[in-house]
């Protein structure tokens, strides 16, 4: 009986097992679902949601955004961490957004600035009130009111479940699906895929297109194309 040798590069069984790695199952998120979750979310999560929808940023980059470093001359400026780790500082994605051109992004930054004054001048755009049980400071926090990525995901799930829109769904959308929604909306507006790819800091256009796989398709009206059939 043939036995697979996991250390042999000639084993077709081992090779096939790698190719058959299942894709991640993610639920789709449309704009109506986004705003339904937004209405049930707390303010830190709302701020993070608006930033993600406008910029396609991941939660890890969002919680690192600082008012004193990333907001300059009416712009939000960011170096995306994943591209920095993959390509190095010179080739990383260094992006900026004019706040006056993006009202939801400006709203998020303004909310973050208001909360900063309330929470001991926390420099992070996304901040929250620290409760007594959280007094013991995490080594990952630079400020007591800073939010960790897991906090955003957890609060997003709570808000999503309150909507009951995905009740009984085995694969409801996570916070990451906001990124896919943003990419889909940009492509549907006719934005060139190369520009969207640059915004999302993807290494190839196929990755950008894959983010739209779970979204509802666009149906093209075929009015006027009538097949005449005589009997």
CA 141 – CA 135 distance, rounded (Å): 12
CA 215 – CA 209 distance, rounded (Å): 11
CA 180 – CA 208 distance, rounded (Å): 9
Write the pLDDT tens digit of every residue in 119-159.
888 999 999 987 555 445 566 777 888 899 999 999 999 99
The confidence score (pLDDT) of residue 5 equals: 46
Nearest of 18, 47, 16 to residue 151 by alpha carbon: 47
Mutual angle of helices 193-200 and 177-188, in 10-degree steps? 160
The least confident of 44-48, 98-102, 189-193 is 189-193
CA 8 – CA 6 distance, rounded (Å): 6
Structure tokens at 145: 């009111």
CA 6 – CA 133 distance, rounded (Å): 48
Write the pLDDT tens digit of every residue in 50-100.
999 999 999 999 999 999 999 999 999 998 887 777 777 776 778 899 999
pTM: 0.77
The least confident of 27-31, 44-48, 107-111 is 27-31
């Amino acid at each position: 009986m043939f036995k697979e040798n996991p250390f042999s590069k000639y084993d077709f069984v081992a090779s096939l097992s790698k190719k058959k790695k299942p894709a991640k199952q993610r639920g789709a998120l449309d704009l109506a679902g986004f705003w339904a979750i937004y209405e049930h979310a707390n303010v830190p999560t709302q701020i993070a949601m608006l930033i993600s929808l406008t910029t396609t940023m991941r939660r890890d980059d969002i919680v690192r955004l600082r008012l004193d470093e990333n907001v300059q001359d009416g712009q939000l400026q960011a170096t995306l961490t994943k591209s920095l780790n993959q390509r190095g500082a010179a080739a990383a994605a260094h992006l900026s957004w004019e706040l006056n051109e993006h009202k939801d992004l400006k709203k998020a930054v303004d909310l973050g600035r208001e909360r900063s004054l309330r929470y001991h001048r926390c420099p992070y755009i996304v901040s929250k009130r620290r409760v007594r049980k959280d007094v013991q400071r995490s080594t990952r926090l630079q400020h007591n009111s800073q939010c960790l990525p897991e906090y955003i995901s957890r609060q997003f799930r709570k808000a999503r479940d309150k909507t009951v829109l995905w009740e009984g769904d085995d694969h409801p959308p996570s916070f990451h699906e906001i990124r896919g929604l943003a990419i889909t909306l940009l492509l549907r507006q006719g934005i060139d895929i190369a520009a969207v790819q640059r915004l999302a800091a993807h290494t190839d256009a196929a990755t950008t297109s894959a983010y739209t796989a779970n979204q509802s398709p666009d149906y093209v009206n075929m009015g006027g194309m009538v097949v005449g059939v005589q009997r």
